[in-house]
Structure 1
Amino acid sequence: MSKMLAIVALLTMGQAAPNPHLPTKTYDTVAPVLPENLNRAVLIVSKTNGWRHLEHIPHSNVVLADIARGLDRKSYVTENAAVFNDDQLRHFSVVVLNSASGDFMTPDQSAALERFVARGGGIVALHAAGDNSHTGPWYTKTIIGTKFIGHPGGPDQFQPARIVVDQPRHPVMAGVKLPWSPVDEWYSFDANPAAAGMTVLARIDEASYRPGAKLMMGAHPVVWINPTTKGRVVYSALGHSPESYDDPNYHRMLTNAIRWAAQ
């Protein structure tokens, strides 16, 4: 009997093991201590209250900090959303939301980020920063402009697809070499964000991969900006895997986006 109970206990423990992709939601209340001499710096935030992209966050945070260094800007990497306060945000020119998922800010923190953009601060939001785990009205309207509905699954989750650049003269797309068919997890949305006033910079050629009937969009955006805000806002749905951030085209586009949004 004792042996049977031990087996049951082990099975129960195994079933109760937390999923590292779904961490417990937390809200930060104590702001971090920033390094000295941060001025017009790049804030890189990968706070996760939704699906956590364990695959790429550690590597992409390093790559993004390296990009900031190459732009002669200091950076600060954190998962503490309490950094979104007026005093600390004044040290930064641009916030990179690196697959920051879920409603990861308190109402006060969201309001501070809204004020940051209103006075000219830039946002570069990547991959899961645009998924459907975000529900705040300002965030969804200003940063996403549409609603994520899914991506292919099973053996089709990661496929090469051809990127079509609609705005080749825009600074974010400068130097991107075509043809470009990266392997990624391709997000679909319920509507083209152009209908909400966004400007689509690049889209996916749906004939070049298998989205599945329910995820087809026709004009299928993948990178866009919000031209209606004082601060410059960029969203890119690319970037599920760590290898994405070493792709020369994507690395160039991220560098362009941070430079442009920080101006």
Structure 2
Amino acid sequence: MKAVLKLLTIFFLLSGALACSGQNSKPEFKVLVLAENGGHHILFSQRAAIWLDKLAQERNFSVEYLQNTEKVNEKYLSQFQLFIQLDYPPYGWTKEAETAFVKYISEGKGGWIGLHHATLLGEFDGFKMWDWFSDFMGGIRYKNYIPTFVSGKVNVEKSSHPVMKNVPSSFQINQEEWYIYDKSPRKNVQVLASVDESSYQPETGIKMGDHPVVWTNPAFKARNIYIFMGHSPKLFENEAYVQLFKNAIFWAANQKQ
């Protein structure tokens, strides 16, 4: 495991260096990526970094990667116009990082995109649930997931939102471990898209009914967007997903697309 983490560290360092070297002028904005550094999401994180670095070179922004929250404090976060929580869970953060992040979001210091594991809310690995983060995500708690993976059709509910620009009204996700929460966050957030559980293939009894998968919480000053899909690296072969992620970056960072 240590060898895998060492290789992953080298990968992210090289990715960041390549992103910076490919820019001929001062970056228009800076992005911080807190990436999950272990488990079975490593392949997604690695593929996401390749895609992000390419986009950064094309659109002249910089990307810095972290694998833990030890460096995160108010001064450090002030450098970045966008914070991407790339499958990194909402627990195990340093207290200083938690405090800085809450201020960053509550005061609108920058934007935020959370992917997949960012809603793994509950008691995990000996950590208590981060109640503030649960409220940020609509007051939800993780309950279950589909370990066997199924495909599903995602339906856009608010096509007028900038994050959904040029995203088809419905699109297929071919492999995902759809999370089940203790309740739908719909009453507390603005839902942009949901998954049609009747479209699951193969069929499964693990369902939650109303099942949002992309949403934003307008109660917070920071532009924020949560995108549940984020397990398989093959997602970056899905044009609708790539468009969604790209839109989210420029909207959350308050930049022109």
Normalised by the shorter chain, which TM-score bucket?
0.7 to 0.9
Aligned residue for 2:197? 206
Q: Which 5+ residue runs of structure 1 have no aligned equivalent? A: 1-16, 22-34
After superposition, the Cα gap between the structure-2 partners of 1:235 and 1:151, relative to the gap in structure 1 and judged at 3 Å, is same
SS at match of 2:96: helix
- Tell me how far apart the structure 2 counterparts of residues 108 and 230 of structure 1 sit (CA, whole Å): 20
Q: Identity of aligned pairs, percent? A: 27
Distance 1:90 1:193 in 2: 29
Matched, 1:177 2:168: yes
Cα 1:258/1:234, change in 2 over 3 Å: same
Is the alpha carbon distance of 1:135 and 1:112 closer, same or farther for their aligned partners in structure 2, counting shifts above 3 Å?
same
Aligned counterparts, 1:121-160, within 5 A:
121-132=110-121, 133=124, 135-143=129-137, 145-153=139-147, 157-160=148-151
From 179, 183, 188, give the equivalent of 2:180. Answer: 188
User: What's the secondary structure of 1:250's corresponding residue?
Assistant: helix
How far off its partner does 1:259 sit?
A: 0.8
Structure 2: 5+ residue stretches without partners: 6-19, 21-25
* Rg larger in structure: 1
Range 170-179 or range 66-75, more displaced = 66-75
Conserved? CA contact 1:38–1:91, under 8 Å: no
Q: Is the Cα contact below 8 Å between 2:156 and 2:192 reproduced in 1? A: yes
The one-letter amino acid paired with 1:216 is K
CA contact (8 A) 1:126 1:239 kept: yes
Give, as a single letter, the amino acid of the residue that structure 2 aligns with 1:150: N
Aligned to 1:92: 80
Q: Are the aligned partners of 2:90 and 2:119 in contact in 1 as well (CA < 8 Å)?
A: no
Length-normalised TM-score, structure 2: 0.79
Judged with a 3 Å threshold, the aligned counterparts in structure 2 of structure 1 residues 93 and 174 are, in CA distance, closer, same or farther, namely same
Match runs of 1:49-64 below 5 Å: 51=39, 53-64=41-52
Q: How does 1:1-263 map to 2 (within 5 A)?
A: 40-48=29-37, 51=39, 53-101=41-89, 103-120=91-108, 121-132=110-121, 133=124, 135-143=129-137, 145-153=139-147, 157-185=148-176, 186-195=178-187, 197-209=188-200, 212-213=204-205, 215-263=206-254
- Alignment CA distance shift 1:117-1:180 (3 Å): same
Cα displacement (A) at 1:248: 1.1
Q: Matched residues in 1 for 2:246 and 2:185: separation? A: 23
CA RMSD after TM alignment: 2.6
Output the amino acid matched with 2:185: P
Query: Which structure dedicates a bigger proportion of its chain to strand?
Result: 2
Q: CA separation in 2, counterparts of 1:117 and 1:70?
A: 27
The equivalent residue for 1:25 is none
CA distance in 1, matches of 2:76, 2:105: 14
